[in-house]
């Protein structure tokens, strides 16, 4: 899956009595995921894939919800190299939630199987955890009929609930995402979905009972005191009248938080967000200070929670928190029954050293030229490289005023000298050409390639 820009997928399927072989349906679905990834449709945390026919012996099985593991134990599991996702089998009745508000489904599975935040295994033929959508606040915030819109989620945004204090924490590097969501919102209502809060020790969960009504519960990390509880969304409603006697009101609704504020406070809140300033709201009656609660909106340090566990094929350098871009329909060259494909580029220069290529088009052109040169140079050697177990290759290019060069490797080792002559001939002119376009500062990037068999 990595070779087509897709995180590997792990399915832990609970065995049926006397079951001796892995069901063929799983492999068929893997092929579908691979084909989807080839066309640029890749899975990520809390995304889904659905079935169009009976799957694993039941028409009630609706698809998979994909999650990145967090607090679950991975002990004794045979796992692929990161990144990888676990697919959780979901029922047909649960698919609307997988589409519209997947964090609710993830945590509800956790409550059902007593795993925090959710199990990693799949159970066939189980009872669905949700039925008819019925009366839920989500009917006001998302489109369950045509799926035209849903609650916007800002990456890394979390809600912390403590005693008499609620904090909405927004990573500073997600300002543009927040502005986009805010500008699309109704002027009287500001609502957003939150991410799973891995700094909390418990989380609100929404449970639909047998009558179809929604109730609030909480799940927590086993044997750990509950100090901070995460919530799945927040809603600011600007309809509170100043004459009500309340400064603001806060309440838990299903698995989220509702804050009722005056129109004036809503205007001030929106302006504070535009100005990237922290903002505090006192909730409760003005004359009852001892019963008041606080709601804080805080800008926090940048969110770098990506590429966890990913390492460079060149030298094992950690790529955690390093920005990368998946490449679809990029350079691809065939020779001797093999194909070499460029799948990803990492930008290794640090945040305080902005790229010396100011024009994004220059950057794109340079990376494309480097990738093409690398593929062309190695085409005569693809069969040998693959046979030697070097199916994943890395190329790290450095462009600086006093240093221009490259490193190429696989399996944590540099490529052997027999490949370097062709690489030098192809890469050095391209790299020197890129160095001439530098305005200031270094450009350090690492490109990742895969060698695959051509299957007709």
pLDDT tens for each residue of 347-401: 987 444 444 444 555 578 889 999 999 999 999 999 999 999 999 999 999 888 7
- For the cut 60, the answer to whether the pLDDT of residue 129 exceeds it is yes
pLDDT digits (tens, 9 = 90+) for 176-205: 999 999 999 988 999 999 999 999 999 999
- CA proximity to 117, closest of 21, 203, 195: 203
pLDDT of residue 402: 76
Q: How many CA atoms lie within 13 A of 32 on its CB side?
A: 13
Half-sphere exposure of 369 (CA within 13 A, CB side): 17
Q: Are strands 202-208 and 229-231 parallel, antiparallel or unpaired?
A: parallel
What is the CA angle 407-410-416, rounded to 5?
A: 70
Share the mean pLDDT of the chain: 92
In the predicted structure, residue 253 carries a pLDDT above the cut 80: yes
Look at residues 230, 239, 441, 254 and name the one whose alpha carbon lies nearest to residue 352: 441
Residue given tokens 């895969």 in the structure block: 450
- How far does the chain reach from its first CA to its final CA, in angstroms? 18
Question: Does pLDDT of 440 surpass 80?
Answer: no
* Burial call 304-332: b when 16+ CB within 10 Å, e when fewer: eebbeebbbbbeebebeebebebbeebbb
123 confidence band (pLDDT: 50, 70, 90): very high
DSSP 244: G
Closest of 189, 204, 197 to residue 169, by C-alpha: 197
Three-state SS for 284? strand
pLDDT at 355: 46
Q: Which two tokens stand for residue 393?
A: 């290759």
Which residues on neighbouring strands pair with residue 250, listed in sequence order? 259
| The pLDDT value given to residue 188 | 93
Helix/strand/coil for 205: strand
pLDDT band at 439 (very low <50, low <70, confident <90, very high): low
Question: E strands within 76-213?
Answer: 84-91, 121-122, 158-162, 165-171, 189-193, 202-208
pLDDT of residue 224: 81
Check: CB of residue 202 under 8 Å from CB of residue 219: yes
Ranking 69-73, 199-203, 222-226, 443-447 by mean pLDDT, the lowest is 222-226
Residue 249: phi and psi, rounded to 5, are -130, 140
CB 327 within 8 A of CB 344: yes
The whole-angstrom separation of Cα 29 and Cα 37 is 12
The CB density around residue 44, as the number of other CB atoms within 10 Å, is 12
The pLDDT of residue 255 is 97
Residue 377 Cα distances to 176, 341, 380, 423, 428, angstroms = 40, 13, 7, 5, 11
Cα separation values, 91 from 50, 115, 154, 296, 446, Å? 10, 19, 27, 38, 41
pTM across the whole model = 0.90
CA gyration radius, the chain: 25
Query: Which backbone phi and psi does 448 adopt, to 5 degrees?
Result: -115, 135
Q: Can you read off the two tokens belonging to residue 284?
A: 């409760």
> CA 155 to CA 341: how far, in whole Å?
29
Question: ∠383-385-390 over CA atoms, to 5°?
Answer: 135
Per-residue confidence (pLDDT) for residue 242, from 0 to 100? 87
377: Cα within 13 Å, side-chain hemisphere: 23
Eight-class DSSP state of 313 = T
- Reduced DSSP (H G I as helix, E B as strand, rest coil) percent helix, strand, coil of the chain, to 5: 25, 30, 40
**Sequence-separated (6 or more) residues with CB below 8 Å from residue 116:** 71, 72, 110, 203, 219, 220, 221, 222
Torsion angle, alpha carbons of 56, 60, 66, 72, to 10: -80
Q: For residue range 319-339, list pLDDT tens digits in order.
A: 999 989 999 877 789 998 999
Token readout for 364 is 């794109």
| Residue 247 contacts residue 288 (beta carbons within 8 Å) | no
Q: Is the CA virtual torsion 142, 254, 193, 133 positive or negative?
A: negative
Geometric angle at alpha carbon 188, from 185 and 194, rounded to 5°: 50
DSSP H helical segments within 39-137, as ranges?
95-100, 102-113
Give the mean model confidence (pLDDT) for residues 161-179: 96
């Amino acid at each position: 899956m990595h070779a087509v820009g897709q995180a590997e997928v792990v399915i832990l399927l609970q065995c049926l009595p006397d079951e001796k072989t892995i069901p063929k349906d799983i492999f068929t679905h893997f092929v579908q995921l691979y084909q989807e990834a080839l066309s640029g449709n890749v899975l990520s945390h809390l995304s889904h894939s659905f079935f169009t026919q009976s799957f694993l012996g039941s028409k009630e099985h609706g698809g998979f919800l994909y999650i990145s593991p967090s607090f679950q134990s991975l002990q004794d599991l045979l796992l692929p190299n990161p990144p990888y996702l676990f697919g959780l089998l979901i029922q047909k009745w649960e698919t609307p939630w997988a589409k519209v508000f997947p964090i609710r489904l993830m945590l509800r599975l956790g409550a059902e199987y007593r795993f925090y935040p959710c199990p990693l295994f799949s159970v066939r033929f189980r009872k669905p955890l949700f039925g008819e959508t019925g009366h839920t606040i989500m009917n006001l915030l998302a489109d369950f009929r045509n799926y035209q819109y849903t609650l916007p989620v800002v990456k890394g945004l979390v809600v912390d609930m403590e005693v008499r204090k609620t904090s909405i924490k927004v990573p500073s590097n997600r300002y543009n995402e927040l502005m986009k969501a805010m500008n699309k919102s109704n002027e009287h209502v500001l609502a957003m979905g939150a991410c799973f809060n891995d700094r909390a020790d418990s989380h609100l969960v929404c449970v639909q009972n047998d009558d179809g009504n929604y109730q609030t519960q909480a799940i927590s990390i086993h044997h750990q005191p509950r100090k901070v509880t995460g919530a799945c969304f927040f809603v600011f409603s600007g309809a509170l009248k100043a004459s009500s006697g309340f400064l603001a009101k806060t309440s838990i609704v299903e698995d989220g938080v509702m804050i009722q504020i005056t129109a004036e406070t809503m205007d001030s809140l929106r302006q504070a967000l535009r100005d990237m300033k922290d903002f505090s709201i006192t909730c409760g009656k003005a004359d009852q200070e001892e019963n008041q609660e606080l709601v804080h909106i805080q800008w926090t340090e940048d969110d770098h929670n990506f590429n966890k566990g990913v390492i460079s094929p060149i030298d094992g350098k950690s790529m955690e928190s390093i920005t990368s871009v998946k490449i679809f329909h990029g350079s691809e060259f065939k020779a001797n029954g093999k194909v070499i494909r460029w799948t990803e580029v990492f930008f290794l220069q640090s945040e305080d050293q902005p790229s010396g290529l100011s024009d994004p088009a220059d950057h794109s052109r340079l990376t494309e030229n480097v990738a093409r040169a690398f593929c062309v140079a190695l085409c005569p050697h693809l069969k040998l490289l693959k046979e030697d177990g070097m199916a994943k290759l890395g190329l790290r290019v450095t462009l600086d005023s006093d240093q221009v060069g490259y490193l190429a490797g696989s399996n944590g080792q540099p490529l052997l000298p027999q490949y370097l002559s062709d690489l030098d001939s192809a890469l050095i002119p391209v790299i020197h050409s890129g160095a001439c376009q530098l305005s200031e500062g270094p450009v350090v990037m690492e490109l990742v390639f895969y060698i695959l068999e051509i299957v007709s």
